[in-house]
Structure 1
């Protein structure tokens, strides 16, 4: 706040004639300008703050009695005004060519005329254009200075929360169950909202159940969802998945757990940066997308899905703008998680040049942002065909780690069966005499050597369909029957899986820990029958 205040004050003192601030937070900007205008230590010469709107005209001291709703008339008053002042013009972008209309050339010319007179005025005068969008005609690009007015900082939102807590503590109507770390998480969740939006979110959280606690992070994220819904490029992913719904992959899970809360102030004591992201590659159907969704629940951060296909548009230059908007939106609601599913489909073959270099420019912009981003946006990229990705994307500095998800081991298949059976066998009549016992789980895991997680889920679903069709309880034989019917990917895509494993052995870390990668003897025999190798891809690094 202090840096922003001093920077704006210096621009006023240096007699910059025109400043342009693009923001929805008019009240917050006006409060800052009035604070600067009355602070002699910052600006030396105290100035009046006079506002203009097309609905009210000029409002302030000594602006005359005439009708100043006309933009041209208002500029004439500003030019002839003889006292130190800062003029704030609301929504002037409508004269600069908004909504496809041509700019008002008479007003543009008038602004250029008074630019030099503002600089030479005996008493300092400045003009601030305040609009929700940034729009400048080419004729004024050299005369107007753009001032970036960021969304509220952590301390500003915390101040709003503290005020609400204090007011409601005095009233005694709201129960407050927050320690300092939980309060920090709540404030971090609200970053990316305007002060008004954050205040509304906190107030809504309080009135919904009469208390404020860490569980109200969900309410804050719902408010952020509104921001995403207004874009067509990003999708806000709502899911109830958690890490308990993901069987196996303990190495990757441990890596993620160690980085939980790394965007909080407590991590700054250790000098830790926020993690950049992970690239998860491997055999299709082994849980890459599943664990990407589960990270959001573990970290309690909003999950945004970026569809690279939506970035590209038919209009020249719009694809690059779409990428910039997607990144700005993700950063606006940071800390957040940006998920790019099957990234190879969007960035493969970018050097072919068949689109006039559009894909290359978009890819370059994305790489630069990945390397230099300062906002806590954690990027999760998943890929099946890793070999088709550009090598620039894979080097250190883009992602913190590259994980390889192989076909599940015996232990992992046991866990996957347990997850899906517990999820569906909730009715005692459907379960009948079937028990989710270690013996049954081991037996089913032994039957499904070479199956991926998606195929194991299908075994459970199809087995239940067998029982449903006959109107009876499910049995072990139902699942056994389906296991023998399914031809796994290990057979249909044996060559592709071998290529992926060969690549991962030297370039990626195994998502499965070393202790889980030891297969039973009978698994080796089953693998021989399936004509696949039991040597598993990914370097053995346990986190």
Structure 2
């Protein structure tokens, strides 16, 4: 907040008496208190007005609350005697988005009158408040916009420690205190205070406060259009060895502090191209785990479908920047760019995203998964050049074996913990049957075998859960009759994706397993003597 006040004071010294201040409604108490204190330093009064009031209100701040007192003066921006000396906080006039022409013309006239009137008065300053600014061209050039950004880690820690001291929870160990600070990062100041006070009253102890605050944050970010995605259910993505090697040996290492001393920074993002179910989202989860970063899910479709897409995207990117070290997963990224060439909100938002990806200095690593890369504008694709475009295809036989092993060890751990109980011939039959399946289809087949084993147990056996699950090759092969392979069901779509992936980097190396088909010459030549 102090930095924002310094910027405002600098503008006033240059003769700029009216500014816009972008802040969330929940942060208004910080804004009121800060500018009331500035008014005290100037030895003047602080006033407030929005269209819900008939009269201008004088603002008073006490130790823990603020109040408004009517002045009896009607808000009339056409009157030269309207504003006595003071600092005025005015709501409701800064957002022109989706207004009818009459209302927009009225607001333009009000702001123009304010600009003209206060230019003649030396000790009148106006701050226009809004959570989102959208002036017309006629006004925007004359009113600078300042922004109350989300608090950084040190500011969040100050808010948390202040609450703990008042709530007498300061005896919590340092690790749990830091956990609470990390949970509060990404939330506005006012929301942190409100959530701590509310959940603190419900929590009997510090661990419960942490649990309630985490649940609150997840709900808050979900309303914004972000999701905290859970950890992967397997340790690796079967068959995607080249992609995993890049994430481990390049991205993770360039995120180490030592890379900065060499003038290096990690890639800003990557595109994963491929059919659904091939492990793109799982790779994003594994990337976040390798980096030790939280994984945020961004739905481009939800952004476009929100009441104010520009504001929603701006808030999401601000949250990501504030968290700093995180992975931002934009799943099905291509679906948000249909009709991009015709302009509209999709084009405007993509330009905002382009600017953010180009100019940001935070360590956000963005992963975009796409099925139809031809829908992405070339400007967007270029922003992923440092991390590259990777093609995640259907797995070959060696990768299929790897995927099977991952999920068999998960559901049938006792049977497979000491090695593979089945010989090469058995596996060759299974892999030939599952050729053309996606990793998700294989995972579902193994899970259904485990579910079948459990459901066939007796009531007492299910209750005790003392019998180790077992599976046979015949049961796995029988699962092939329960679904249609993606390679058959979506053959045309799969081929269309492959046709656009000729310049992408392969996520998997060639099949060098014992199940790979042997290389053979198309023609045999006889040596003639």
Give the TM-score normalised by structure 1. 0.69
Work out the CA distance in 2 between the residues paired with 1:209 and 1:409.
54
Residue 12 in structure 1 maps to residue 5 in structure 2? no
Work out the CA distance in 2 between the residues paired with 1:305 and 1:186.
24
Instruction: Label 1:385 to 1:471 Cα distance change in 2 as closer, same or farther (>3 A).
Output: same
Match among 62, 75, 79 for residue 72 of structure 1? 75
**Deviation at residue 453 of structure 1 after TM alignment:** 0.7
Work out the CA distance in 1 between the residues paired with 2:56 and 2:271.
55
Work out the CA distance in 2 between the residues paired with 1:252 and 1:382.
14
- For 1:129, the equivalent position in structure 2 comes to 128
Query: Which structure 2 residues correspond to residues 507-518 of structure 1 after superposition, within 5 A?
Result: 507-512=503-508, 517-518=510-511
Instruction: Label 1:294 to 1:7 Cα distance change in 2 as closer, same or farther (>3 A).
Output: same
Query: Which structure 2 residues correspond to residues 279-358 of structure 1 after superposition, within 5 A?
Result: 279-295=271-287, 299-308=292-301, 311=304, 322=309, 324-334=310-320, 335=323, 336-347=326-337, 350-351=340-341, 355=342
Q: Contact between 2:398 and 2:514, CA under 8 Å: does it hold in 1?
A: no
- For 1:197, the equivalent position in structure 2 comes to 191
Deviations 1:483-532 (A, max 9, x none): 6657755567778767766865x6333434x5xx443344316x99xxxx
Work out the CA distance in 2 between the residues paired with 1:493 and 1:155.
51
Query: Which structure 2 residues correspond to residues 87-106 of structure 1 after superposition, within 5 A?
Result: 87-89=88-90, 91-93=91-93, 103=103
Residue 394 in structure 1 maps to residue 385 in structure 2? no
Residue 29 in structure 1 maps to residue 27 in structure 2? no
Instruction: Label 1:388 to 1:124 Cα distance change in 2 as closer, same or farther (>3 A).
Output: closer
**Deviation at residue 126 of structure 1 after TM alignment:** 0.9
Work out the CA distance in 2 between the residues paired with 1:465 and 1:173.
47
Work out the CA distance in 2 between the residues paired with 1:107 and 1:394.
40
Residue 236 in structure 1 maps to residue 227 in structure 2? yes
Match among 41, 47, 51 for residue 51 of structure 1? 47
Work out the CA distance in 1 between the residues paired with 2:391 and 2:378.
17
- For 2:523, the equivalent position in structure 1 comes to none
Deviations 1:51-82 (A, max 9, x none): 23538843269xxxx9535542799697462x
Query: Which structure 2 residues correspond to residues 191-270 of structure 1 after superposition, within 5 A?
Result: 191-199=185-193, 204=199, 210-211=205-206, 222-231=215-224, 234-236=225-227, 238-242=229-233, 244=235, 246-257=237-248, 259=251
Q: Which runs of 5+ in 1 are unaligned?
A: 40-45, 529-543
- For 1:86, the equivalent position in structure 2 comes to 87
- For 1:176, the equivalent position in structure 2 comes to 174
Work out the CA distance in 2 between the residues paired with 1:300 and 1:248.
23
Q: Contact between 1:221 and 1:302, CA under 8 Å: does it hold in 2?
A: no
Q: Contact between 1:224 and 1:333, CA under 8 Å: does it hold in 2?
A: no
Residue 476 in structure 1 maps to residue 466 in structure 2? no
Instruction: Label 1:205 to 1:291 Cα distance change in 2 as closer, same or farther (>3 A).
Output: farther
Work out the CA distance in 1 between the residues paired with 2:407 and 2:200.
34
- What count of residue pairs does the alignment treat as equivalent? 484
Residue 448 in structure 1 maps to residue 431 in structure 2? yes
Work out the CA distance in 2 between the residues paired with 1:227 and 1:253.
32
- 3-state SS in 1 of match to 2:16: coil
- 3-state SS in 2 of match to 1:279: strand
**Deviation at residue 279 of structure 1 after TM alignment:** 0.7
Instruction: Label 1:201 to 1:341 Cα distance change in 2 as closer, same or farther (>3 A).
Output: same
Q: Which runs of 5+ in 2 are unaligned?
A: 61-68, 459-468, 521-529
Q: Contact between 1:22 and 1:148, CA under 8 Å: does it hold in 2?
A: yes
- For 2:66, the equivalent position in structure 1 comes to none
Instruction: Label 1:269 to 1:280 Cα distance change in 2 as closer, same or farther (>3 A).
Output: same
Q: Contact between 2:94 and 2:129, CA under 8 Å: does it hold in 1?
A: no
**Deviation at residue 134 of structure 1 after TM alignment:** 3.8
